[in-house]
Amino acid sequence: MTILKSVDDLESVRESILSKRDSKKPCISVCSGTGCHASGCVAVTETLREALKKKNLEDKVEVRTTGCHGFCERGPITVIFPSGIFYQMVTPDDVEEIITETIINDRIVDRLLYIDPVSGKKITYEKDVPFYSRQKRILFGNNGLIDPRNIEEYIAVGGYAALEKVLQSMQPEEVIGEIKKSGLRGRGGAGFPTGLKWEIARKSKGDVKYIVCNADEGDPGAYMDRSLLEGNPHSVLEGMLIGAYAVGAKQGFIYVRHEYPLAVENVKIAIDQMREYGLLGEDILGTGFSFDIRLVIGAGAFVCGEESALMASIEGRKGEPRQRPPFPAEKGIWGKPTNINNVETWANVPLIITKGAEWFSSIGTEGSKGTKIFSLVGQINNTGLVEVPMGIPLREMVYEIGGGIPDDKKFKAVQTGGPSGGCIPEQLLDLRVDFEELKEAGSMMGSGGMVVMNEDTCMVDTAKYFLEFLRDESCGKCLVCREGIDRMLEIVTGITEGRGKEEDLETLQELGEMVKDVSMCGLGQTAPNPLLSTLTYFEDEYLAHIRDKKCPAGVCRALIEYRIREDKCTGCGACLRACPQEAISGEKKELHTIDQEKCIRCGICFQTCKFDAIEKR
């Protein structure tokens, strides 16, 4: 590959790639995101390649490994192009049939189709799956089409055209103006206007400036950034190039968390390929613009998602936040002006440049423009990543895209915004999801995690879960966060263990508000949100734990008991054999009983019994 020396060079490469393509050639694309990896996509791809070779079809049929399609629950996902037939939960054993039936005989393999849990109908094409048809996949659209490890595939779908436009015909101020006009706000959680951030960094004094892509996606239950980096890393990197040009930076950093090995790998490959093509380095496309990116890998610290901690970590120190101001735009990495944006924010940039600010701002609500990717997870039928216009009703997310709650259970809450967000109850299901409405409901957008909880989830336990998380992840630098979270956890733990008093609720409220007001960084300032929102919306559950010493959801161990029902026990002995504590006794074919003294309430007997004879009280 020769280095691209001009915009024309890039265009002729694009044309040559496209001219070699045959749009009618069958292509079997296999999702290779982390979710499908875990479900065994590598074996499927290998078997496919071998089988095609055996049949001498390797030149006639393409096998493409793509990024995440988003519908992780149904992986490994395989889509047959050009028709777009959608097969789900494919195993190596299905490969033979896919080739002989679908590729050779043009027939559908019925048993591999997806069945919509709402209508009960089988669906043939990817675009008709309700999980996808209600989405607006402007960022994610290419994920399922291109091989993320091949820069040519990104170029073929119009990649780096926005960079061309910027370098050829726009002044940095015009780029900033376009981003401002689009109304794009930071997708990392706080929603700060991106164009304004760039403007401040541009105007900030100094010859050396840095830009950073924050890919330290630490919110549990959110993985859209990982998926973008795995599936379409060049879209993020192109955004960074444009941002660097606008801000006036020559060096960029992309900070990816260690827990995402596949994203690290794909970003590494993407950066190497950019260098090979001359899209990084000196005099990019012969325009005089120079820029390079360094990949930095995190080492497991949630607080590093906070920008001042992230910068400390890039400098090679422990990730402790510092007081702001000065903001990074004035004093950032090594004291130089630094502009930090999140992965999804960067990925929006090339789209805005190519399609225009007006197109972008026509999507979404008054204050929140564009789309947002959410990870819809937890107790929901269609788990996965969904990209929707801002302002979509929460109810539509849960019941139409998400396909509702499995096993006919009742909906209880949606937790949004991770450890900084809150729990939204059923009565607020009609709220429209954007920055403002979520904040008003006592939660926040955060990075876009949406964990659905059903009636079997205890909200006091949920508050305890987040407090535990935050206690572990608080860096300990400021007292209110370090001690405040610990005290709240102590009280909530007491409640879950039956030691709660009614005045605890007031103390918790007071402590929570104090930690919010007095903490130095974003972690502490938002840490009490999960607790406070459950106190607001689920006070009755707290009171049941305190007054009645009962956990209505049957989660808090100290407050529950397993018993064997006389009318249902067949005396089969399965629970007796499974019990790790030898707490169950009974003769064969006779009623069994549980010794409450020995029982540790692990729930194994409950899971083992085939006759529903074990009840939780």
Question: Applying CB under 8 A, which residues contact other proteins?
Answer: 34-35, 37-39, 72-73, 75, 217-223, 226-227, 258-261, 296-302, 313-320, 375, 377-379, 383-384, 415, 418, 449, 451, 453, 457, 462, 465, 469, 472-473, 475, 578, 580, 602-604, 607-608
Residue 43 token pair: 């074996």
Q: How far is the CB of 531 from other proteins (least distance, A)?
A: 14
Q: How far is the CB of 223 from other proteins (least distance, A)?
A: 3
Q: How far is the CB of 148 from other proteins (least distance, A)?
A: 16
Residue 404 token pair: 């509702």
220: nearest Cα among 514, 516, 462: 462
Q: How far is the CB of 179 from other proteins (least distance, A)?
A: 28
Q: How far is the CB of 407 from other proteins (least distance, A)?
A: 12
Q: How far is the CB of 415 from other proteins (least distance, A)?
A: 6
The DSSP string of 102-130 is IIIT----GGGSEE-TTT--EE-BGGGSH
Q: Which is nearer to other proteins, 46 or 173 (CB)?
A: 46
Q: Which is nearer to other proteins, 400 or 455 (CB)?
A: 455
Q: Are strands 614-616 and 85-87 parallel, antiparallel or unpaired?
A: unpaired
- Between the alpha carbon of residue 174 and those of residues 163, 165, 358, 399, the distances in Å are 13, 12, 14, 42
Q: Roughly what angle, to the nearest 10 degrees, separates helices 479-496 and 503-518?
A: 160
Contacts for 570 with CB less than 8 Å, ≥ 6 apart: 589, 611, 613
Q: Which is nearer to other proteins, 159 or 298 (CB)?
A: 298
- Which H or E element spans position 213? strand 210-215
Q: How far is the CB of 60 from other proteins (least distance, A)?
A: 33
Q: Which is nearer to other proteins, 586 or 603 (CB)?
A: 603
Q: How far is the CB of 147 from other proteins (least distance, A)?
A: 21
Q: Which is nearer to other proteins, 291 or 469 (CB)?
A: 469
Rg value, the chain, Cα:
27
Q: Which is nearer to other proteins, 82 or 300 (CB)?
A: 300
495: nearest Cα among 537, 536, 551: 551
Give the residue ranges of DSSP H helices in 248-329: 261-277, 307-314
Classify residue 56 as left (phi > 0), alpha (psi -120 to 50) or beta: left
Asked if residues 303 and 309 have their Cβ atoms less than 8 Å apart, the reply is yes
Residue 77 token pair: 């996902």
Q: How far is the CB of 21 from other proteins (least distance, A)?
A: 32
Classify residue 429 as left (phi > 0), alpha (psi -120 to 50) or beta: alpha
Residue 255 token pair: 């900070």
Q: Which is nearer to other proteins, 170 or 523 (CB)?
A: 523
How far is Cα 421 from Cα 434, in angstroms, rounded to an integer?
Answer: 13
Q: How far is the CB of 86 from other proteins (least distance, A)?
A: 16
Q: How far is the CB of 85 from other proteins (least distance, A)?
A: 22
Q: Which is nearer to other proteins, 103 or 414 (CB)?
A: 414
Q: Which is nearer to other proteins, 139 or 377 (CB)?
A: 377
Q: Which is nearer to other proteins, 41 or 285 (CB)?
A: 41
Residue with tokens 């100290």: 558
Looking at residue 250, its amino acid is K
How far is Cα 388 from Cα 347, in angstroms, rounded to an integer?
Answer: 15
Q: How far is the CB of 467 from other proteins (least distance, A)?
A: 13
Asked if residues 120 and 375 have their Cβ atoms less than 8 Å apart, the reply is no
Q: How far is the CB of 12 from other proteins (least distance, A)?
A: 37
Q: Which is nearer to other proteins, 9 or 456 (CB)?
A: 456
- Which H or E element spans position 294? strand 289-297
Q: Which is nearer to other proteins, 45 or 457 (CB)?
A: 457
Describe the chain by its helix, strand, coil percentages, rounded to 5.
45, 15, 40
- The torsion angles phi and psi of 540, rounded to 5 degrees, stand at -60, -30
Q: How far is the CB of 437 from other proteins (least distance, A)?
A: 21
Q: What is the CA 599 to chain-centroid distance, rounded?
A: 38
Q: Which is nearer to other proteins, 350 or 524 (CB)?
A: 524
Contacts for 340 with CB less than 8 Å, ≥ 6 apart: 211, 212, 213, 214, 307, 310, 311, 328, 332
| End-to-end CA separation in angstroms for the chain | 68
How far is Cα 126 from Cα 508, in angstroms, rounded to an integer?
Answer: 48
